[in-house]
Chains A and B, each alone.
Chain A
Amino acid sequence: EPEVTQTPSHQVTQMGQEVILRCVPISNHLYFYWYRQILGQKVEFLVSFYNNEISEKSEIFDDQFSVERPDGSNFTLKIRSTKLEDSAMYFCASIRQVNTGELFFGEGSRLTVL
Chain B
Amino acid sequence: DQQVKQNSPSLSVQEGRISILNCDYTNSMFDYFLWYKKYPAEGPTFLISISSIKDKNEDGRFTVFLNKSAKHLSLHIVPSQPGDSAVYFCAAAYSGTYKYIFGTGTRLKVLA
List A residues at the B interface (Cβ < 8 Å).
4, 31, 33, 35, 41-45, 48, 50, 55-56, 58, 89, 91, 93, 98-108, 110
CB contacts (< 8 Å) of B99 on chain A: these are: 33, 45, 48, 56, 58
Q: Kindly state whether residue B112 has any CB partner on chain A within 8 Å.
A: no
A-B contact pairs, 19 of them (CB 8 A): A31-B98, A33-B98, A33-B99, A42-B103, A43-B44, A44-B102, A45-B100, A48-B98, A48-B99, A50-B98, A56-B97, A56-B98, A89-B41, A99-B31, A102-B36, A103-B46, A105-B36, A107-B41, A108-B41
How far is A101 from B33 in the complex, measured between Cα atoms in Å?
A: 10
Once A102-B46, A105-B44 are accepted as A-B contacts, the answer to whether A42 and B98 lie under 8 Å apart by CB is: no
CB contacts (< 8 Å) of A108 on chain B: these are: 41-43
Looking at the complex, which one of A45, A56, A106 makes contact with B43 (CB distance below 8 Å)?
A106
Q: Among residues 19 to 69 in chain B, which have CB atoms less than 8 Å away from a CB atom of chain A?
A: 31-32, 34, 36, 38, 41-46, 49
Looking at the complex, which one of B34, B44, B93, B105 makes contact with A91 (CB distance below 8 Å)?
B44
List B residues at the A interface (Cβ < 8 Å).
31-32, 34, 36, 38, 41-46, 49, 89, 91, 93-95, 97-105
CB contacts (< 8 Å) of B97 on chain A: these are: 56
How far is A99 from B34 in the complex, measured between Cα atoms in Å?
A: 10
How far is A69 from B53 in the complex, measured between Cα atoms in Å?
A: 35
Residue in B closest to A47 when the chains form the complex, CB atoms: B99
